[in-house]
């Protein structure tokens, strides 16, 4: 059975060109980020910008009551897990 070398080479060349186009797009994107001063540059509003252009949301601080509630919930969760593990071990 004869192998069509020309078709194989054309297919390989096509794949390499597609890969080169993908790399060119990635290089262009990185160059744009570097020209803008990096992804962590702050806007006039003072919020850090992400690579996608959206501003990073600030987290609302927890009150003492909220922290205590989370603490109790997590301790109960851990105790439940520990008890289940102890039962499974027996």
Residue 20's Cβ-count burial label (10 Å; 0-12, 13-18, 19+) is exposed
Q: For the chain, give every domain's residue range.
A: 1-35, 62-90
For Cα atoms 33, 58, 26, give the angle at the middle one, nearest 5 degrees.
20
What was the pLDDT predicted at 17?
96
What was the pLDDT predicted at 63?
95
What was the pLDDT predicted at 72?
97
> What is the spatial distance between Cα 88 and Cα 65, in angstroms, rounded to a whole number?
35
What was the pLDDT predicted at 69?
98
pLDDT in tens, the chain (90 residues): 567 889 899 999 999 999 999 999 999 999 998 888 765 655 555 555 566 667 788 889 999 999 999 999 999 999 999 999 998 887
């Amino acid at each position: 059975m004869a192998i069509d070398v020309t078709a194989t080479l054309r297919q390989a060349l096509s794949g390499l060109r597609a890969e080169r186009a993908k790399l060119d797009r990635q290089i262009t994107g990185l160059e744009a980020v570097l020209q803008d001063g990096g992804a962590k540059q702050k806007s006039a509003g003072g919020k850090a910008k992400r690579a996608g252009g959206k501003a990073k949301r600030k987290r609302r601080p927890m009150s003492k009551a909220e922290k205590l509630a989370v603490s109790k919930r997590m301790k109960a969760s851990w105790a439940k897990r520990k008890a289940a593990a102890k039962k499974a071990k027996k």
